[in-house]
Amino acid sequence: MTDWIPLPGSAKARLLDAAIDHLQRQGYEALSVQAVAHAAGVTTGSLYHHFGNKLGLFTMVRDEMDKRMVERIEGALDALAVAGGSAGKDPDGDGSADGDNAPDGGGSAGVNGGASAGARGAAVLVDRSALATALEVAFDAAVRFGVTRVLAEPRPDGGADVIAAALVRAVPGRAGATAAILTAAWRQALRSVADGADPDEVRVGLRWLVAA
């Protein structure tokens, strides 16, 4: 985290701000290191000094944004698991839950009474409504931060998807394929917003897809 937070106004801070702005508007393929450096008021040599190359710049931005989304997803899953208490339900989503209006992690979405909550990486069996709420929390944060395209871009380095890794502990059987599908849907929802779709409409569609 200390690598991400440079001194305010420093060359590195200005480069990161400029990179986020350019990535959000243009995506990775169209990103120009010359344009980023110019917007930051520094030379391309400064950019290469701090990040190595274009990929290094993108990786630092993307890794940090992914980390912030993971923190929100894990926090929401743990909070919803605790809130559910023993009034749990099958993680496949049978029955009903009242979590539709709790994007901030509130609500009363039930969980399996035997689920383990609060430990990072530990299995936490929440119902589909609670899982949808956790994804909404991260979706809302990405929209608020203005990084929807940054988070929707395919990773050119082929790195592991930490969002899927965060979700895998909350799906039945800790199935990696299910977590990957949910992550792909979440990232596509962000891409739709980046391309001009109404965030509220996309959010409704994401919940319908996950919680249906």
Please say if the pLDDT value at position 90 is more than 90.
no
Please give the CATH number for the structural domain made up of 1-52.
1.10.10.60
| 68 or 89, higher pLDDT | 68
**Domain coordinates in residue numbering, the chain:** 1-52, 62-211
Q: What is the pLDDT of residue 82?
A: 74
Residue 66, pLDDT > 70, answer yes
Q: How far is CA 51 from the centre of its chain?
A: 23
The reported pTM is 0.78
| Cβ atoms 98, 107 nearer than 8 A | yes
Q: What average pLDDT does the segment 22-35 reach?
A: 96
Whether the pLDDT of residue 104 is over 50: the answer is no
pLDDT of residue 124: 75
Quick one: pLDDT at residue 171?
86
Helix H segments across the chain?
11-26, 33-40, 44-51, 54-84, 128-145, 148-152, 162-167, 176-194, 199-211
Tell me the two tokens of residue 106. Answer: 């509130």
User: Which pLDDT value is given to residue 212?
Assistant: 76
14 or 173, greater pLDDT? 14
